[in-house]
Amino acid sequence: MTHPAVHPETPRVAVASGCVLGEGPVWDQRTGALLWVDIKNPAVWRFEPDTGESASLPVRERIGFVALTEDPEVVIAGFKSGLARLHLKSGETEPLVQPEPDKPGNRINDGHVGPGGHLYFGTMDDDEAEPTGRFYHWDGQQLEAFGDAFVVTNGPAASHDGQTLYTVDSPGRFIYAHDLDEARPGPARRFVRFEEGWGHPDGLTVDAEGYVWVCHWGGSRITRFGPDGAPERIVPVPTAQVTKCAFGGPDLTTLYITTAGIGRDPHIDPMAGHLFAVETGVRGLAANIARV
């Protein structure tokens, strides 16, 4: 195994949000704002770095992610019950599709918009016990499951060239890669296996050079992996449960990081659940707009 470099900067607290289960950061270049969610204290958070202002919008049920649409004030939200359009000012929702009406114990977890505007997302057993979760591809008309069933799915993210989709089996500690053929994911192949002591792979993002940044739940860090799966650098994060990251800022070189406070002693892990930011010197990819 290669020995990755340690990133010279430590992530700073951008918003002391104290999320129970912070997840799903997405940068909107049109508004200069970051959106993310708290799954288990259900809310959509918004942060404007230029002003330092942040606010949260409580929602009616658990929410795994939000995806940008052509209207900056409307997102597609991955609620426990299904996908819906969510109006960020009023909180009103418009149901779109229910992936698993026959599985009331499941909920939608992580999601991502691919280069063509199609939506990729995963479901999971909300009790984190049974392998009832699946990955889905939705083009606005057809909803198709792909890959195997898992207890906890995570991290759908498309590569910089739109040719590969990365997915995560968090309890199994595997990251997979799927070839994309006209937006449809092919069979899974192993990309990275997390070693003992690394924690579990959680959310991820891809930069403009094709490297994959993976968050370590229980591992207090993010690792940047090359396209060949070799670790290139480690970014230590000053809290244990690191959930997902996304590039933002005017040059897309600031990495925003969500974390979780669930199960953590605030005296031992006082920054658990906060939003962090760190300058990387690496350019990320602009978030795609959902066209479904």
Question: What pLDDT is stored for residue 241 in this prediction?
Answer: 98
> Does residue 54 have a pLDDT over 70?
yes
Q: Which residues pair with 190 in a beta bridge?
A: 176
Closest by Cα among 105, 59, 64, 98 to 81? 98
Tell me how many degrees the CA angle 46-51-53 measures, rounded to the nearest 5: 40
> Does residue 258 have a pLDDT over 90?
yes
Task: Indicate the helix (H) or strand (E) that contains 107.
Answer: strand 106-113
Average pLDDT over residues 226-236: 97
Question: What pLDDT is stored for residue 2 in this prediction?
Answer: 63
Average pLDDT over residues 267-289: 97
> Does residue 61 have a pLDDT over 80?
yes
As its CATH architecture, domain 5-279 has: 6 Propeller (2.120)
The question of whether 202 is a catalytic residue gets the answer yes
> Does residue 126 have a pLDDT over 80?
yes
> Taking all residues of the chain, what is their mean pLDDT, rounded to a whole number?
97
Question: What pLDDT is stored for residue 3 in this prediction?
Answer: 85
Digit-coded pLDDT (tens) for 193-210 = 999 999 999 999 999 999
Average pLDDT over residues 146-169: 97
Closest by Cα among 27, 13, 75, 10 to 249? 27
Question: What pLDDT is stored for residue 292 in this prediction?
Answer: 84
Question: What pLDDT is stored for residue 48 in this prediction?
Answer: 98
**Catalytic residue, candidates 110, 125, 202, 207:** 202
Question: What pLDDT is stored for residue 214 in this prediction?
Answer: 98
Proportion of the chain above pLDDT 90, given as a percent: 98
Residue type, 120: Y
pTM of full prediction above 0.85: yes
> What radius of gyration do the chain's Cα atoms show?
17
Digit-coded pLDDT (tens) for 19-47 = 999 999 999 999 999 999 999 999 999 99
